[in-house]
Amino acid sequence: MIAQIKSLLPQIRAWHGPLTSQLVQEPGRFGLGRLPKRLLPDSTTRSICGFCSTGCSLTLHLRGNEAVNLTPDFQYPVNLGMACPKGWEALAPLKAPDRATQPLRRRANGSFEPISWGTALEEFVRRMREVQKNHGAASTAFLSTGQIPCEEMALLGALAKFGMGMVHGDGNTRQCMATAATAYKESIGFDAPPFTYKDFELSDTIVLIGSNLCIAHPILWQRILQNKRSPAIVVIDPRKTETASAATHHLPIAPKSDLAFFYGVARELICRNWISSVFVEKHTRGFSEFSTFAAAFTRERVLRETGLSNDQFEEFINLLAPDRAVSFWWTMGVNQGHEATRTAQAIINLALMTGNIGKVGTGANSITGQCNAMGSRLFSNTTNLFGGRDFKNPTDRADVARILEIPENRIPTESSWAYDQIIDGIETGHIKALWIIATNPAHSWMNQNRFKQLREKLEFLVVQDMYHSTETALAAALVLPAAGWGEKEGTFINSERRFGVLRKASRAPGEALSDFSIFRLIANAWGCGALFEKWSTPEQVFQFIKKLSAGQPCDISGIKDYAMLDEAGGIQWPCAEGAASSQISNLKFQIEQERRLFSDGRFFHPDGKARFIFEAPTPVPEPVNAEYPLTLLTGRGSSSQWHTLTRTAKSGVLRKLSPQSCYVEIHPSDAAACGICGQETLTIESRRGRITARAWITTTVPPGSVFVPMHYPEINRLTLSAVDPYSRQPAYKACAVRVSPSLI
Residue 145 to residue 159: CA distance in whole angstroms:
16
Between 52 and 693, CB nearer to ligand SF4: 52
The count of other CB atoms within 10 Å of the CB of residue 731 is: 24
Please select the residue that binds ligand SF4; options are 218, 375, 500, 637, rule is CB under 6 A.
218
Residue 417 interacting with ligand SF4 (CB under 6 A): no
Residue 52 interacting with ligand SF4 (CB under 6 A): yes
Contact segment (CB under 6 A) with ligand SF4 among 49-57, 358-366, 604-612, 696-704 equals 49-57
Between 557 and 593, CB nearer to ligand SF4: 593
Residue 250 to residue 264: CA distance in whole angstroms:
17
Residue 667 interacting with ligand SF4 (CB under 6 A): no
Between 223 and 595, CB nearer to ligand SF4: 223
Q: How many residues bind ligand SF4 (CB under 6 A)?
A: 14
Minimum CB distance to ligand SF4, residue 78 (Å): 8
Minimum CB distance to ligand SF4, residue 550 (Å): 29
CB of 54 closer than 8 Å to CB of 79: yes
Exposure letters 168-179 (e unless 16+ CB within 10 A, then b)? bbbbbbbbbbbb
Contact segment (CB under 6 A) with ligand SF4 among 76-84, 269-277, 392-400, 417-425 equals 76-84
Minimum CB distance to ligand SF4, residue 371 (Å): 7
Minimum CB distance to ligand SF4, residue 567 (Å): 21
According to DSSP, residue 281 is labeled H
Give the SS3 label for residue 171: strand
Within 552-645, residue ranges assigned H as helices are 562-568, 579-585, 590-593
Minimum CB distance to ligand SF4, residue 244 (Å): 19
Contact segment (CB under 6 A) with ligand SF4 among 217-225, 422-430, 517-525, 695-703 equals 217-225
Q: Residue 36: name the closest of 73, 68, 82 by CA.
A: 68
Helices 419-428 and 448-455: crossing angle, nearest 10°?
A: 50
Please select the residue that binds ligand SF4; options are 54, 362, 370, 421, rule is CB under 6 A.
54
Minimum CB distance to ligand SF4, residue 54 (Å): 4
Between 23 and 138, CB nearer to ligand SF4: 23
Q: Supply the DSSP string of 190-210, one letter for each residue.
A: SS-----THHHHH-SEEEEES
Minimum CB distance to ligand SF4, residue 72 (Å): 7
Contact segment (CB under 6 A) with ligand SF4 among 47-55, 296-304, 589-597, 724-732 equals 47-55
Residue 637 interacting with ligand SF4 (CB under 6 A): no
Residue 51 interacting with ligand SF4 (CB under 6 A): yes
Q: Residue 473: name the closest of 112, 51, 30, 61 by CA.
A: 112
Between 71 and 205, CB nearer to ligand SF4: 71
Radius of gyration (Cα) for the chain, nearest Å?
Answer: 25
Residue 695 interacting with ligand SF4 (CB under 6 A): no
Residue 707 to residue 700: CA distance in whole angstroms:
9
Contact segment (CB under 6 A) with ligand SF4 among 82-90, 397-405, 582-590, 598-606 equals 82-90
Minimum CB distance to ligand SF4, residue 489 (Å): 18
The count of other CB atoms within 10 Å of the CB of residue 55 is: 27
Please select the residue that binds ligand SF4; options are 59, 73, 77, 87, rule is CB under 6 A.
87
Residue 287 to residue 281: CA distance in whole angstroms:
8
Between 187 and 641, CB nearer to ligand SF4: 641
Residue 567 to residue 57: CA distance in whole angstroms:
13
Residue 84 interacting with ligand SF4 (CB under 6 A): yes
Residue 199 to residue 207: CA distance in whole angstroms:
12
Contact segment (CB under 6 A) with ligand SF4 among 83-91, 147-155, 447-455, 710-718 equals 83-91
Type of residue at 249: H
Minimum CB distance to ligand SF4, residue 235 (Å): 19
Residue 516 to residue 230: CA distance in whole angstroms:
47
Please select the residue that binds ligand SF4; options are 16, 61, 86, 688, rule is CB under 6 A.
86
Minimum CB distance to ligand SF4, residue 53 (Å): 7
Please select the residue that binds ligand SF4; options are 177, 192, 219, 523, rule is CB under 6 A.
219
Between 362 and 444, CB nearer to ligand SF4: 444
Minimum CB distance to ligand SF4, residue 672 (Å): 38
Minimum CB distance to ligand SF4, residue 73 (Å): 10
Residue 494 to residue 78: CA distance in whole angstroms:
10
Minimum CB distance to ligand SF4, residue 86 (Å): 4
Please select the residue that binds ligand SF4; options are 19, 49, 176, 731, rule is CB under 6 A.
49
Between 145 and 549, CB nearer to ligand SF4: 145
Task: Please name the helix (run of DSSP H) or strand (run of DSSP E) that holds residue 301, with its range, or none.
Answer: helix 299-306
Q: Residue 491: name the closest of 48, 74, 46, 57 by CA.
A: 48
User: Per DSSP, what are the bridge partners of residue 352?
Assistant: none
Angle ∠(394,179,719) on CA atoms, nearest 5: 125
Please select the residue that binds ligand SF4; options are 9, 23, 83, 736, rule is CB under 6 A.
83
Residue 139 to residue 79: CA distance in whole angstroms:
44
Within 488-625, residue ranges assigned H as helices are 515-526, 538-549, 562-568, 579-585, 590-593
Minimum CB distance to ligand SF4, residue 90 (Å): 7
Residue 187 to residue 193: CA distance in whole angstroms:
11
Contact segment (CB under 6 A) with ligand SF4 among 79-87, 455-463, 624-632, 713-721 equals 79-87
Residue 56 interacting with ligand SF4 (CB under 6 A): yes
Q: Residue 148: name the closest of 485, 578, 606 by CA.
A: 485
> CB-based contacts of 736: which residues, under 8 Å, 6+ apart?
622, 623, 624, 625, 628, 629, 630, 631, 632, 686, 687
Between 171 and 218, CB nearer to ligand SF4: 218
Residue 528 to residue 211: CA distance in whole angstroms:
44
Between 83 and 597, CB nearer to ligand SF4: 83
Residue 200 interacting with ligand SF4 (CB under 6 A): no
Minimum CB distance to ligand SF4, residue 206 (Å): 18
User: Per DSSP, what are the bridge partners of residue 205?
Assistant: 232, 326
Between 177 and 676, CB nearer to ligand SF4: 177
Task: Please name the helix (run of DSSP H) or strand (run of DSSP E) that holds residue 465, with its range, or none.
Answer: strand 460-465
Residue whose Cβ sits closest to ligand SF4: 87
Q: How many helices (H) and strands (E) does the chain have?
A: 29, 26
Instruction: Report residue 383 CA to chain centroid gap.
Output: 16
Residues that bind ligand SF4 (CB under 6 A): 49, 51-52, 54-56, 79, 83-84, 86-87, 217-219
